[in-house]
Amino acid sequence: MNSYERIYAVVRSIPRGTVATYGQVARLAGNPRWARVVGYALHVNPDPDGIPCYRVVDRNGCTSSAFAFGGSDIQKALLEADGIPFLPDGRVDLAACQWNPNQEIL
């Protein structure tokens, strides 16, 4: 499995109602130094319906200004539709909704 395939596998695992950071996806894909690679991979997402790249935000909870599907407003709208809370300054409330794969509900 190449690096992009590993990244896509992690992103497919992010549950609705949660987000992950680029660095978190990189670590879970096997290399904590791949945060930028995660961004590149998501920018060329071959399956937007199956790989929910809009659920990936930066380490501060900011959406991407270059979001592949029409800009940061689209990413924010998709996240809000997932039930993701935003702080008054427009960032995702990571404390409330950052995905923790070790706390999956059984």
pLDDT of residue 80: 95
pLDDT of residue 71: 61
Instruction: Report all structural domains of the chain as residue ranges with CATH numbers, in order of start.
Output: 3-86 (1.10.10.10)
pLDDT of residue 65: 76
Total Cβ atoms within 10 A of residue 35: 17
Q: Where are the beta strands (DSSP E) in the chain?
A: 20-21, 56-57
- Rounded CA separation 49/36 (Å): 22
Catalytic residues: 53
pLDDT tens track of the chain, all 106 residues? 799 999 999 999 999 999 999 999 999 999 999 999 999 999 999 998 999 999 999 999 999 876 666 665 889 999 999 999 999 999 999 999 999 998 654 3
Please state whether beta strands 56-57 and 20-21 pair in parallel, antiparallel, or not at all (unpaired): parallel
**What one-letter code names the amino acid at 17?**
G
